[in-house]
Amino acid sequence: MSEKITPDRKSILANIRIQRFTPSKHKSAYFDNFKVNVETGMTVLEALRLIKNTQDSSLTFRAFCRSKICGSCAVRVNGKPVLACSTQLMPILEDFKKDSVSIRPLKNMPVLRDLVVDIEPVIEKLSKMHPYLMENRERIPETLEQESIMSKQEHSRFDYITDCILCGSCYSACSAASADPNYAGPLTLGKAYRFSADVRDSFQGERMQAAVDQGLWSCAQCRKCINVCPKDTRPAVSIQRMRKMSIDDGIHDTAGSRRAKAYTGDVAKYGQVNKPMLPVIVNGPKGWAAIEAADNYLKKHGIEPTRQVCMLGGQSSTQKIYDKVKELEAKGDNKT
């Protein structure tokens, strides 16, 4: 009746390439190769621990919960930021049809040692974002005898962000963070939106200003953060929503707000964005420097620059779409 259970468990001898660096000892980072018998079920973290326990006890990495909730062990495996604890090795070896895998520290943060990066700068940026609820007394009672009432729908506006474990994967993948060290980063802006979208909060103006000051409009919406987030918290989506909120709040004196207005205005007028003039509209007179640089570049390659916006056909259809949106807005139908 019952049948003996014989699980199908494999094992491959793999080469684990790990980036090493101890600032007091080395001038620059280098790779060490470790041979590991990778078994079915083995995670990247298990392999790191096995190496530390049996081959090189100085191998340095962070790990704590082992179950995808603490965010300590984010590293890059074959270039992609992942949590070491929840990443199986066998499928990676099989997918890449190689017996080698590389493990490196996260990007955009200084390396303290081997796979350990300094997350203090990110925590500082987070702290400046007012990442906490300030009681809105219209929603939160003064007494602990009562709960505040928040509907399921109100809760769902920000619930997806509360999965964030501050692991830093998004920060590592972020194009804006690598271009500008002062940019707050996806996780911090996500956290800011989480509170600004909470009906129980009363601090939205100050927090919004902090978000604008720390680069709310610097995000390039490349959406890499969405691809790498192990908890599916979609930071780029929160950033978009935070931007809309800032315009609705009347914060128009930002590059992003001007760009958004230029886009809508231009499309209404020309049927497309007036790209040649965008730098000036967004950044004011200093935008001319960018335009001149572009002009010179084009001329160097034998192309004559133009300030003309080429008018497309079908302009009247665009106008119709705008009219329809205005009509819906007038009705107060924000969802459409």
Partner 1 sequence: MLTYDILIVGSGGAGLYAALESRMEEDLQVGVLTKVYPTRSHTGAAQGGVNAALANLDPTDTWQDHWFDTVKGSDYLADQDAAEIMTREAPMVVREMEHWGCPFSRTDEGKIAQRPFGGASKPRACFSADKVGHVMLHTLYEQGIRHGVNFLNEWQVLSLMHDGQRCQGVTAINTQTGRVHTIQAKAVILATGGHGRIYWTRTSNALGNTGDGTAIAYRAGLPIKDMEFVQFHPTGLRRTGILVSEGARGEGGFLLNGLGERFMSRYAPEKMELGPRDLVSRSCETEVREGRAGPEGEVFLDLTHLGRERILERLPQIRELCIEFEGVDPIEEPIPIKPTAHYSMGGIHTDLNGQTSIEGIYAAGEAGCVSVHGANRLGGNSLLDILIFGRRAGKHALEYARNNSYTPVDTGQEEADTQMIASMMEGDSGASIADIRRAMGNLMSEKVGVYRNSKNLESAVSELADLQEQFKTVRIQDKTKAFNTELVAALELKNMLDLAEVVAVGALERKESRGAHTREDHPERDDENWLAHTMATLGDDGRPKLDFSPVTITEFEPKARTY
User: How many of the other CB atoms lie within 10 Å of CB of 333?
Assistant: 10
Which residue bears the tokens 């965010």?
71
Q: What 3-state class would DSSP assign to 160?
A: helix
CB-nearer residue toward partner 1: 67 or 336? 67
**What does the alpha-carbon distance between residue 224 and residue 74 come to, in Å, rounded to a whole number?**
16
Q: Which is nearer to partner 1, 198 or 266 (CB)?
A: 198
Distances (CA, A) of 287 to 176, 215, 283: 19, 18, 5
- Taking alpha carbons only, the member of 196, 207, 236 closest to residue 127 is 207
Q: Residue 130 carries which side chain, given as an amino acid letter?
A: H
Distance (Å, whole) CA 193 – CA 268: 30
Shortest Cβ distance from residue 323 to partner 1 (Å)? 39
Q: In the complex, what is the shortest distance from the CB of residue 212 to partner 1, in angstroms, rounded to a whole number?
A: 20
Angle at Cα 169 formed by Cα 167 and Cα 170, nearest 5°?
115
111/281 with CB nearer partner 1: 111
Identity of the residue, 58 or 334, whose beta carbon is nearer to partner 1 in the bound complex: 58
The tokens 């390439």 sit on which residue?
Answer: 17
User: From CA 129, how far away is CA 161, in angstroms rounded?
Assistant: 15
Nearest distance from C-beta of residue 98 to partner 1, angstroms: 18
Question: Would you say 71 or 279 has its CB closer to partner 1?
Answer: 71
Return the closest-CA partner of residue 244 out of 225, 217, 267. 217
Nearer to partner 1, 105 or 279 (CB): 105
Residue 242 CB, shortest distance to partner 1, in Å, is: 17
Cβ of residue 32: shortest distance to partner 1, in angstroms?
14
Please state the closest distance from residue 108 (CB atom) to partner 1, in A.
17
